A = this chain, B = another copy of it.
């Protein structure tokens, strides 16, 4: 899962000259989430996060391009995993099934990671500034889906169908997440399945 923090302070090949990074990405994220939980996202200043993490404000901005990026954690790594999952999918599996499986895999959670992921997603989906910023993250996610869909169908990623599949896959995932946050009981995979099943019924099994 993309939200799981893994990886060291830096992946620079050891043996390099110069000062070694002393900044711990995980520590920044933890400090930030602690502050967000207490004071809320908008009310927490970047200065406060930097101070809580024991680093300079300028250093924080060297690790995160913006305050809005902090709650996203290692999202890029998650995208790479998503790409790899799709690349490894056998070609005899229909495209829509391949994409759905990839979405399920992308959003798979270990039991222990659920509470933190809930908190992260609650923050991302209910904070206006983050709802807005998320559009940029979503665009990269959609591109992964669109690229795969285009390749499987022999189209360009800029054609209509791949783009539509990207948008619609994201839409289903987001509606499942919103539902997941609203209800205590349902599981995320079940909601992702239900979103797809509901959409198919809505679009395809009604009188035209």
- Which residue numbers of A lie inside 8 Å of B, CB to CB? 94-97, 128, 131-136, 139, 158-161, 163-168, 170-172, 174-176, 178-179, 182, 191, 194-196, 198-200, 202-204, 206-208
With A134-B135, A199-B165 in contact, is A160–B191 under 8 Å at CB? yes
Q: How far is the CA of A136 from the CA of B199 in the complex (A)?
A: 23
Which residues of chain B are near A164, meaning CB under 8 Å? Answer: 171-172, 175-176, 195, 198-199, 202
- Report yes or no: B206 in contact with A96, Cβ–Cβ below 8 A: yes
Which residues of chain B are near A202, meaning CB under 8 Å? Answer: 95-96, 161, 164-165
Which residues of chain B are near A199, meaning CB under 8 Å? Answer: 161, 164-165, 168, 203
- Report yes or no: A182 in contact with B158, Cβ–Cβ below 8 A: yes
Measured CB to CB, the closest approach of chain B to A60, in angstroms, equals: 20
Q: How far is the CA of A166 from the CA of B168 in the complex (A)?
A: 10
- Report yes or no: A167 in contact with B160, Cβ–Cβ below 8 A: no
- 29 residue pairs bridging A and B, Cβ less than 8 Å apart: A94-B206, A96-B203, A131-B139, A132-B133, A132-B134, A132-B135, A132-B136, A134-B135, A160-B176, A161-B202, A163-B175, A163-B178, A163-B179, A164-B171, A164-B175, A164-B199, A164-B202, A166-B171, A166-B175, A167-B172, A167-B175, A168-B171, A168-B199, A170-B171, A199-B203, A200-B204, A203-B203, A203-B204, A204-B204
